[in-house]
Structure 1
Amino acid sequence: MTSPAKFRKDKEIVAEYETQVKEIRAQLVEQLKCLDQQCELRVQLLQDLQDFFRKKAEIEVDYSRNLEKLAERFLTKTRSTKDHLLKKEQSILSPVNCWNLLLLQVKRESRDHATLSDLYLNNIIPRFAQISEDSGRLFKKSKEVGVQLQEDMMKVLNELYTVMKTYHMYNTDSMNAESKLKEAEKQEEKQMGRSGRQDDRQTPRSPDTLASIKSDEKPVRRSSVKKIEKMKEKRQAKYTENRLKAIKARNEYLLALEATNSCVFKYYIHDLSDIIDCCDLGYHASLQRALRTYLSAEQNVETSKHSGLETLEGAAESLEANGDKQKVMETYNNVFCPPARFDFQSHMGDTMGVMCAQQPVEGELLQRCQQLQSRLSTLKIENEEVKKTMEATLSTIQDMVTVDDYDVSECFHHSNSMESVKSTFSESYLSKPSLAKRRANQQETEQFYFTKLKEFLEGRNLITKLEAKNDLIEKTLGESQKTDCCLASGRRNSSVRKQESGEAIPLMVESCICFISRHGLQHEGIFRVSGSQVEVNDIKNAFERGEDPLAGDQNDHDMDSIAGVLKLYFRGLDHALFPKEVFHDLISCVSMESLQERAVHIKKVLQSLPSKTLIIMRYLFAFLNHLSQYSEENMMDPYNLAICFGPTLMSVPEGHDQVSCQAHVNELIKTIIIHHDTIFPGLQDLQGPIYTIPGAGDDFCDSPHCEPPLVEEPAPDTVSVIHNSEDVTLALTI
């Protein structure tokens, strides 16, 4: 019989198997629920995509309509009959071309966004709807296959349970038969042992007695033994039969167990993956096609937009003032073409249409010719200076309006965060303090430019009138009179250069600087505001006569006129103060960011210049540095002074871009003004007059021309200063 312990163990094994099967069954149920959930999420995603593109289509069509209205609003104005001819003629100008291309670009964008809306509604949304329908159908079929596979696996598990129970039953019968067989064997052994003990306990008896006893006991012993043997044989046969059944049942159980484990493994590793693949059949590929349709639409819109923007960019690059000016003048040729010359209108029969050069008019004409030539010489120098200043100012304005501040790419560097988009570039560029300062600087520079432009145009008009009169007088007087005038002027200029060559600091330069240092350091706009041309000529003529009209303490002269005389002197030099030979060496330092490095470089370049030139430079730039220290009052910082003196002190060689090079010249002059004490040698290395800041000594003009003189007499080998003589020179020979 089976022991209670073995019986309990068998029950535990069965219970464990049933628990494992129960867990598998629960897993199968959850698997179907999970697949159902994935299908629902997929359907919801596809529905959201449809709703999204439906809403986006509405936005795109609204945007398209608004763009169309915007373009039509301005195109209608362009096509209006009012001033139609004027607008048609204006359309050839580059700004108008940009405007027309901009409107066409808006119309192009309107059409493109309308196309986008149509693609969303009639192409992309139906694709998502079809994917949703296909996914639902495929999931339903895949689920049916999955349920069938689960049922087949449960059948396998049930079969395993049945085989296991059969094995347990036959094994129990085998064990019971074995127990009974062992019990029969024990009875047989017991019977055989009892017979042996009886033979040993009997005493010796006579043969007749023994024979009688054996004959009586033998049948009884044989019957019992035979019965036991028969029972043993029966039980042996039963045990053998049950044992064979148990072995076969165990084999069947092991086979079923292996098959079941293989089926379970196959289901979890392969079948479930195949079922999921069936659920996903065509889903990702179809979704990819739909999204690629969207990407293709958007990319084509971007390509179309980029194409239009490239055209607009080309038009923006073609914005050109001179070309438009020429087109306007060609378009309105009848308006801008010069009128017919004014003919001489005779009066009361006077037919003499030419000037008369006969005596006594000839002498008067000759004197007038000389006066005109002298006046023209001065005016041309002055107007050239004004022109250089005007061009330098124009360069500054162009730098202001052409600054590369249009790149806003930083505003479109999106992060993954969902924070609101805010243009830091726009905030910085349009900040009120910064914008106000830039606008104020620009307007101030523009005002100065137009002041110089007006002065230049007025001077050029005057020069044109005087040249026309001079040419006609010369033509009237003939070549001989013309030659005499030129020779007289040449003799005078020669005497001027001869006299000037002996001075360390020319009287005109020193006297003007001393006067400004006494009375004009705080004068607003000094060197920038033009003075009275009449007073400038009077002061200049006085210096030419060898006089010093600024000597003494009288302060009844116009400060701007005196500043104009000083600039006129440097403007009238045969060669600019900075020779053209060192132009490139000096300009090369502008690229250096450090002003100190620039100063060291400039010092090395200027060492090669003559000592006379260095003395003049040292004196002038020390004065300009001193003047710039009062920039809060006179509004002339080093850069503003450089704009005024740059075109005068350093001319741009021919073959160079005058506008761009002039900006470099101004930057160079500014550096020299700031670091003049580093650039120019002191008295120990270069003997000659120096400019001293007021308050640093008894006086501030350390020069033989200042009263009283404060400079020691120069050494015999140094330059000397000549005060006056016949026709004091005005030009410095460098």
Structure 2
Amino acid sequence: MTSPAKFRKEKEIVAEYDTQVKEIRAQLVEQLKCLDQQCELRVQLLQDLQDFFRKKAEIEVDYSRNLEKLAERFLTKTRSTKDHLLKKEHSILSPVNCWNLLLLQVKRESRDHATLSDLYLNNIIPRFAQISEDSGRLFKKSKEVGVQLQEDLMKVLNELYTVMKTYHMYNTDSMNAESKLKDAEKQEEKQMGRSDRQTPRSPDTLSSIKTDEKPVRRSSVKKIEKMKEKRQAKYTENKLKAIKARNEYLLALEATNSCVFKYYIHDLSDIIDCCDLGYHASLHRALRTYLSAEQNVETSKHSGMETLEGAAESLEANGDKQKLMETYNNVFCPPARFDFQSHMGDTRGVVCAQQPLESELLQRCQQLQSRLSTLKIENEEVKKTMEATLSTIQDMVTVEDYDVSECFHHSNSMESVKSTFSESYLSKPSLAKRRANQQETEQFYFTKLKEFLEGRSLITKLEAKHDLIDKTMGESQKSDCCLASGRRNSALRKQESGEVIPLMVESCIRFISRHGLQHEGIFRVSGSQVEVNDIKNAFERGEDPLAGDQNDHDMDSIAGVLKLYFRGLDHALFPKEVFHDIISCVAMESLQERAIHVKKVLKSLPNKTLIIMRYLFAFLNHLSQYSDENMMDPYNLAICFGPTLMSVPEGNDQVSCQAHVNELIKTIIIHHDTIFPGPQEVQGAIYIVPGAGDDFCDSPHCEPPLVEEPAPETVSVSRNSEDVMALTV
């Protein structure tokens, strides 16, 4: 039987799982609250805008009436005076003409403000009302999708819990069966020992006792042997069930982690997109209508309108989504992966592919592959339909109908003016039809969106299981092939280049360190493409065009060459294999904790890659110390180098992930000395601040000691760790 300590351990494991699930459930609740809050703020904003323009319309119409009264008062007087002058003189004096033009301008201004008031009441305010209605409707539909996805996610977590409990149960049965088997073996040994320890007796008595005891002893031994055989069979059966249950648990564990990651990285982003669907474009149209009206009423107010126009032009759904996710980073960042929870000493956290399970796993892998092929084709068709529908919706809400210039093209008559634009916009019979078509298209889009998300969830789950099985089945063979290939490629690269730091990288950094630390906008401003190509071609010929102390090159072009080198690598400096592990540190609030996490992840990279990273980020840290002059602090440098050094894998939201990449690069720039190993740990070139060493000089034949080469006897040590994998230079 299992001991109380083991039962307590099992309860602790279950409690830890429950705690993690509770945290995720709380996070899901907070996500919906956050979206509800955004919707409430949006509705309040739209209501405030309506109230503002309603009050402004009242002010404009009062102003128009006062101007009309003022103009009519003096126009009446002017007409009588004009008639008198015309009778007295056959021509109008220039001062009188100016006076008449001034009064006509007041009359025109009165009509303009009346038109403005009409536009506010009959055009702009109804637009905001429609935006509010559309936003509420779309948010409700988006929330329904989000709740459904959260329920599906909790089902996956519950399935994981069920599979884990099944694994624990079968493993307990296996251990109990093993204990019973050992008891039977002890009884057998005890019975055999008892027969050997029988005391001697007289021949007559012995013969009589043998006659009586022989059947009894044989029956007892046979019974024990039969019991042992049964328990042996029971133990074998329970052990096989325990192994199968553990395999199912591991597969479910991998699938659960993939589903959780997919929800936080992809689904949340899609839900926010749906909440914002058409909102920014519609608000943009309404504000552009207001801007057009104001600019036509008074061109003198143009400078004041530029600020609002800039804000209207900056309306952008992805930008707002990114800000929202950054503001609530702790809510939207993916949680930690679920780890394998070993049970009662069973620490083998890998899928068992040995016989008799190998053929079963192989068949299951083939079935998963076939199912995935069909699902991917079906889901791709759904995606194409969804994207086409989304394009249609976007065309509906991005109609450029905000120009109201025609409303201000008045005739010379003094009759009152009513906005023909507002009539055309709201009074057309086709308006109701257009609104109905838009809502029908939205409904079809959400149907396809839900179908696509559900299909993607299933594909993610099945792919996780398939990839884990496939990796388990071919891990040893692939490992041997990759090791041999890596050694051959490493030897070939060593023959092509014997430098730890490529000449192009070392020379560009040396030049910038000597002449460009205070250059404003370094790495942000593009240089001359012709000069960039010339310098790059010179390096490829084996020359060093930046050698010596001359400073006749464009600094932005030198910076462009350095970025071009890292952009042109076959594989990014940060491998895609470590992307998800290293990017998870962004959820940590402390920069020091991020640095420690990054250091752990980067330990697995080859020494050559670490040496180049150490050299580059030490230089970037040095460059950021001059941010007061060059305007390039660690974050600005991260924006320039993030997309170059770490590419976002396909299938991830490029916008949100790129922001996380930039934050990660900024952390590495600030804490490079903590993250990367020192020269004592990894032998290789290091970046030294120019002028810090005693041997620094300005002679063309004496270069600054930016690169410190290891001693000859230590070079071979640093090279041995690079045989498996080396950075292409």
Shorter-chain TM-score tier: 0.3 to 0.5
Q: How much does 1:251 deviate?
A: 1.8
Q: Find the residue that maps to 1:83 and give its secondary structure.
A: helix
In the alignment, is the contact (CA less than 8 A) between 1:54 and 1:121 conserved in 2?
yes
**Counterpart-to-counterpart distance in 2, 1:610 and 1:186:** 54
Q: How much does 1:582 deviate?
A: 87
In the alignment, is the contact (CA less than 8 A) between 2:138 and 2:277 conserved in 1?
yes
| Corresponding residue of 2:357 | 361
Change (3 A) 1:553 1:595: same
In the alignment, is the contact (CA less than 8 A) between 2:286 and 2:402 conserved in 1?
no
**Counterpart-to-counterpart distance in 2, 1:504 and 1:363:** 47
**Counterpart-to-counterpart distance in 1, 2:167 and 2:495:** 141
Change (3 A) 1:320 1:89: farther
Larger mean CA deviation between 364-373 and 180-189 belongs to 364-373
Q: How much does 1:294 deviate?
A: 0.8
**Counterpart-to-counterpart distance in 2, 1:187 and 1:681:** 60
Q: Find the residue that maps to 1:666 and give its secondary structure.
A: helix
Larger mean CA deviation between 290-299 and 404-413 belongs to 404-413
Q: How much does 1:267 deviate?
A: 2.1
| 2:43 aligned with 1:48 | no
Post-superposition Cα deviations, 1:110-129, rounded to whole Å, max 9, x if no partner, equal 22111111111111111111
Change (3 A) 1:229 1:117: same
In the alignment, is the contact (CA less than 8 A) between 2:368 and 2:462 conserved in 1?
yes
Q: How much does 1:142 deviate?
A: 1.6
Change (3 A) 1:618 1:74: farther
Larger mean CA deviation between 632-641 and 237-246 belongs to 632-641
**Counterpart-to-counterpart distance in 2, 1:261 and 1:726:** 32
In the alignment, is the contact (CA less than 8 A) between 2:575 and 2:646 conserved in 1?
yes
Change (3 A) 1:479 1:390: same
In the alignment, is the contact (CA less than 8 A) between 2:638 and 2:665 conserved in 1?
yes
In the alignment, is the contact (CA less than 8 A) between 1:163 and 1:256 conserved in 2?
yes
| Corresponding residue of 1:138 | 138
Q: How much does 1:99 deviate?
A: 3.1
Q: Where do residues 331-730 of structure 1 align in structure 2 (5 Å cutoff)? A: none
Change (3 A) 1:709 1:364: farther
In the alignment, is the contact (CA less than 8 A) between 1:531 and 1:561 conserved in 2?
yes
Q: How much does 1:255 deviate?
A: 2.0
Superposed CA RMSD = 46.8
In the alignment, is the contact (CA less than 8 A) between 2:538 and 2:544 conserved in 1?
yes
Change (3 A) 1:688 1:567: same
Q: Percent identity?
A: 94
Change (3 A) 1:102 1:596: farther
In the alignment, is the contact (CA less than 8 A) between 1:497 and 1:733 conserved in 2?
yes
In the alignment, is the contact (CA less than 8 A) between 2:253 and 2:340 conserved in 1?
no
Q: How much does 1:569 deviate?
A: 89
**Counterpart-to-counterpart distance in 1, 2:3 and 2:237:** 22
In the alignment, is the contact (CA less than 8 A) between 2:287 and 2:312 conserved in 1?
no
Larger mean CA deviation between 79-88 and 133-142 belongs to 79-88
Larger mean CA deviation between 503-512 and 319-328 belongs to 503-512
**Counterpart-to-counterpart distance in 1, 2:464 and 2:50:** 83
In the alignment, is the contact (CA less than 8 A) between 2:267 and 2:453 conserved in 1?
no
In the alignment, is the contact (CA less than 8 A) between 2:112 and 2:297 conserved in 1?
yes
Change (3 A) 1:498 1:236: closer
Post-superposition Cα deviations, 1:44-81, rounded to whole Å, max 9, x if no partner, equal 11111111111111111111122222222222222224
**Counterpart-to-counterpart distance in 2, 1:154 and 1:474:** 27
Larger mean CA deviation between 350-359 and 68-77 belongs to 350-359
In the alignment, is the contact (CA less than 8 A) between 1:705 and 1:723 conserved in 2?
no
**Counterpart-to-counterpart distance in 1, 2:328 and 2:194:** 155
Larger mean CA deviation between 234-243 and 103-112 belongs to 103-112
Q: Find the residue that maps to 2:396 and give its secondary structure.
A: helix
Q: How much does 1:707 deviate?
A: 91
Post-superposition Cα deviations, 1:160-216, rounded to whole Å, max 9, x if no partner, equal 222222222111111110111112122223344455xxxx98999999999999888
Larger mean CA deviation between 412-421 and 81-90 belongs to 412-421
In the alignment, is the contact (CA less than 8 A) between 1:580 and 1:653 conserved in 2?
yes
In the alignment, is the contact (CA less than 8 A) between 2:184 and 2:224 conserved in 1?
yes
Q: How much does 1:134 deviate?
A: 1.0
Change (3 A) 1:265 1:286: same
**Counterpart-to-counterpart distance in 2, 1:474 and 1:237:** 32
Larger mean CA deviation between 710-719 and 62-71 belongs to 710-719
Change (3 A) 1:402 1:599: farther
Change (3 A) 1:342 1:155: closer
Post-superposition Cα deviations, 1:652-679, rounded to whole Å, max 9, x if no partner, equal 9999999999999999999999999999
Change (3 A) 1:313 1:86: farther
**Counterpart-to-counterpart distance in 1, 2:175 and 2:658:** 119
| 2:286 aligned with 1:290 | yes
In the alignment, is the contact (CA less than 8 A) between 1:519 and 1:555 conserved in 2?
yes
In the alignment, is the contact (CA less than 8 A) between 1:395 and 1:659 conserved in 2?
no
**Counterpart-to-counterpart distance in 2, 1:13 and 1:358:** 27
User: When the two structures are superposed, what TM-score results if normalisation uses the length of structure 1?
Assistant: 0.39
Q: How much does 1:289 deviate?
A: 0.6
Change (3 A) 1:407 1:626: farther
Q: Find the residue that maps to 2:718 and give its secondary structure.
A: coil
Post-superposition Cα deviations, 1:445-468, rounded to whole Å, max 9, x if no partner, equal 999999999999999999999999
Q: How much does 1:3 deviate?
A: 0.7
Q: How much does 1:408 deviate?
A: 30
Change (3 A) 1:487 1:44: closer
Larger mean CA deviation between 340-349 and 123-132 belongs to 340-349
In the alignment, is the contact (CA less than 8 A) between 1:98 and 1:315 conserved in 2?
no
| Corresponding residue of 2:13 | 13
In the alignment, is the contact (CA less than 8 A) between 1:411 and 1:423 conserved in 2?
yes
In the alignment, is the contact (CA less than 8 A) between 2:146 and 2:271 conserved in 1?
yes
Q: How much does 1:140 deviate?
A: 1.6
Larger mean CA deviation between 209-218 and 394-403 belongs to 394-403
| Corresponding residue of 1:67 | 67
Number of residue pairs aligned between Structure 1 and Structure 2: 729
Change (3 A) 1:561 1:324: closer
Q: How much does 1:302 deviate?
A: 2.9
In the alignment, is the contact (CA less than 8 A) between 1:178 and 1:239 conserved in 2?
yes
In the alignment, is the contact (CA less than 8 A) between 2:127 and 2:286 conserved in 1?
yes
Post-superposition Cα deviations, 1:678-699, rounded to whole Å, max 9, x if no partner, equal 9999999999999999999999
In the alignment, is the contact (CA less than 8 A) between 1:71 and 1:106 conserved in 2?
yes
Larger mean CA deviation between 13-22 and 45-54 belongs to 13-22
Change (3 A) 1:213 1:150: same
Larger mean CA deviation between 331-340 and 202-211 belongs to 331-340
In the alignment, is the contact (CA less than 8 A) between 2:548 and 2:701 conserved in 1?
no
Give ranges in structure 2 of 5+ residues lacking alignment. none
**Counterpart-to-counterpart distance in 2, 1:466 and 1:164:** 19
Q: Find the residue that maps to 2:82 and give its secondary structure.
A: coil
Q: How much does 1:715 deviate?
A: 99
Give ranges in structure 1 of 5+ residues lacking alignment. none
Q: How much does 1:245 deviate?
A: 1.6
**Counterpart-to-counterpart distance in 1, 2:456 and 2:70:** 48
Q: How much does 1:30 deviate?
A: 2.8
In the alignment, is the contact (CA less than 8 A) between 2:10 and 2:344 conserved in 1?
no
Q: How much does 1:18 deviate?
A: 2.3
Q: Find the residue that maps to 1:694 and give its secondary structure.
A: coil
Q: Find the residue that maps to 2:717 and give its secondary structure.
A: coil
**Counterpart-to-counterpart distance in 1, 2:365 and 2:104:** 63
Q: Looking at CA atoms only, which structure, 1 or 2, has the larger radius of gyration? A: 1
Change (3 A) 1:590 1:452: farther
Change (3 A) 1:595 1:49: closer
Change (3 A) 1:189 1:298: same
Post-superposition Cα deviations, 1:578-620, rounded to whole Å, max 9, x if no partner, equal 9999999999999999999999999999999999999999999
**Counterpart-to-counterpart distance in 2, 1:467 and 1:207:** 79
| Corresponding residue of 2:78 | 78
Change (3 A) 1:540 1:301: closer
Q: How much does 1:542 deviate?
A: 100
**Counterpart-to-counterpart distance in 1, 2:465 and 2:175:** 150
Q: How much does 1:253 deviate?
A: 2.0
Post-superposition Cα deviations, 1:600-642, rounded to whole Å, max 9, x if no partner, equal 9999999999999999999999999999999999999999999
Larger mean CA deviation between 347-356 and 492-501 belongs to 347-356
**Counterpart-to-counterpart distance in 2, 1:264 and 1:359:** 32
Larger mean CA deviation between 104-113 and 421-430 belongs to 421-430
**Counterpart-to-counterpart distance in 1, 2:144 and 2:524:** 96
Q: Find the residue that maps to 1:723 and give its secondary structure.
A: helix
Larger mean CA deviation between 505-514 and 164-173 belongs to 505-514
